[in-house]
Chains A and B, each alone.
Chain A
Amino acid sequence: MNESALACQASRGDKEALKQLLTKNWDWLKRLVYSYMSSAVDTEDVLQNICIRVITKIHTLNEPERFKQWLAAVARNEAIDYRRKNRRQPLRLEESEIDNSIQYDDDTVERKDLERQVLKAIDQLPEKYREVLLLQLSGNMTYGEISETLDIPVTTVQIRLVRARRMVKDILTGKEIDRIPRT
């Protein structure tokens, strides 16, 4: 069954259709929320709130073919609400519980360190660049789908991706970041 049909059924109260719909969109949704929260723990909390909101408000979806856009808007609003209510700094990787009891080999340590640096660099990106970069990194969204979900033109997606990658590279190499353009 295609997504519009599932969304239609879900808006009529079909629990299984709603569950299927969320499962299908889970990957990009998770990454989108992470782009706003920068913490796996907070991401999970916000995803829970999003599910609650979707369950209670799905009947208000008048255009089933725009489910993705609707879901992205719900995700954005829930993330903003969560940040406002919690008002704490996002959990940085060095504050997280890194298991020091595990012995890593040198390559793994180097890799882990690099991952940490990459996540820090992504965290420093402006939100609009982080959004598109994380959605693209989910691996199963085309530029067209990203453009549709975020309701922005495809060319904007391409440009933001270029700038996001450039900024991450500059941060990792210690280069000063250029002034952030409007797009």
Chain B
Amino acid sequence: MNMSNEMLEILMGKQIDSEITPSEKCLLDKHLEADEQSRELLKELSRMNDITAESIDNELASVKSAEEIFETAWKKTGGVSYNYTCWLKKNLKFAYGLAAGFLIGIMLQMNSAVLDNNTFDSGLASNPGAGKVGLEIPIEDLKFEPPERNVDYYMFTDTDGRRWMMEAYRENNNIQPAMYYKGF
């Protein structure tokens, strides 16, 4: 089988680099057996490969080892700061998430506190001192007189912590609950 020059050189290269497969070796050996020029070429390429490898090895023999160069580089970068920076950068996303969560928590807490101040028990405001309420009196029996005291609405918290709104008036810096006529 005729082989192109490039194909032949690829097989020779694989032979030199120990990458040749058994079937390729068979093909190459068959060709080399029949062609002396190719045998010479393979010898030449093989020798050139050895010299090239040796030249490069000798040229690079003076280059420092990995450990030496690495330690020098480590000192230049400051190993401690590398670890810290590495840790920080890796955990930055987590830190951002934590901070965002904290902020949201504070906002919710503040919001809830504001709502608490504005709510009150929706139970009926009752006057502790009042008598019955809700009696129906014909309006023609009512005698309206000008009030002697002005009542107002006051909020107070009982011992159970419940908040109440009541009608009361202030007298001498004291808050007095508004009292209603028993008949009302």
A interface with B by C-beta (< 8 Å): 11-13, 15, 18-19, 22-23, 26, 30-31, 34, 40, 43-44, 47-48, 51-52, 55-56, 58-59, 93, 114-116, 118-119, 122, 133-134, 136-137, 139, 142-143, 158-159, 161-162, 165-166, 168-169, 172
Q: In the complex, A158 Cα to B21 Cα: how many Å? A: 14
A162 engages B9 (CB within 8 Å): yes
Contacts of B55 in A (CB 8 A): 115-116, 118-119, 122
4 additional A-B pairs beyond A136-B17, A143-B19, beta carbons within 8 Å, are A51-B73, A52-B76, A52-B77, A137-B53
Q: In the complex, A114 Cα to B48 Cα: how many Å? A: 10
Contacts of A40 in B (CB 8 A): 59-60, 62-63
A166 engages B9 (CB within 8 Å): yes
CB distance from A11 to the nearest CB of B (A): 8
| Interface SS, A side | helix
Contacts of B19 in A (CB 8 A): 142-143
> Could you write out 23 A-B pairs with CB less than 8 Å apart?
A11-B86, A12-B86, A18-B70, A26-B66, A30-B63, A31-B56, A47-B63, A55-B73, A55-B74, A55-B82, A59-B86, A114-B51, A115-B55, A115-B59, A122-B52, A122-B55, A134-B56, A137-B49, A137-B56, A143-B17, A158-B13, A162-B9, A162-B13
- Answer whether residue B173 sits at the interface, using C-beta atoms and an 8 A cutoff: no
B interface with A by C-beta (< 8 Å): 6, 9-10, 13-14, 17, 19, 44-45, 48-49, 51-56, 58-60, 62-67, 69-70, 72-74, 76-77, 79, 82-83, 85-87, 89-90
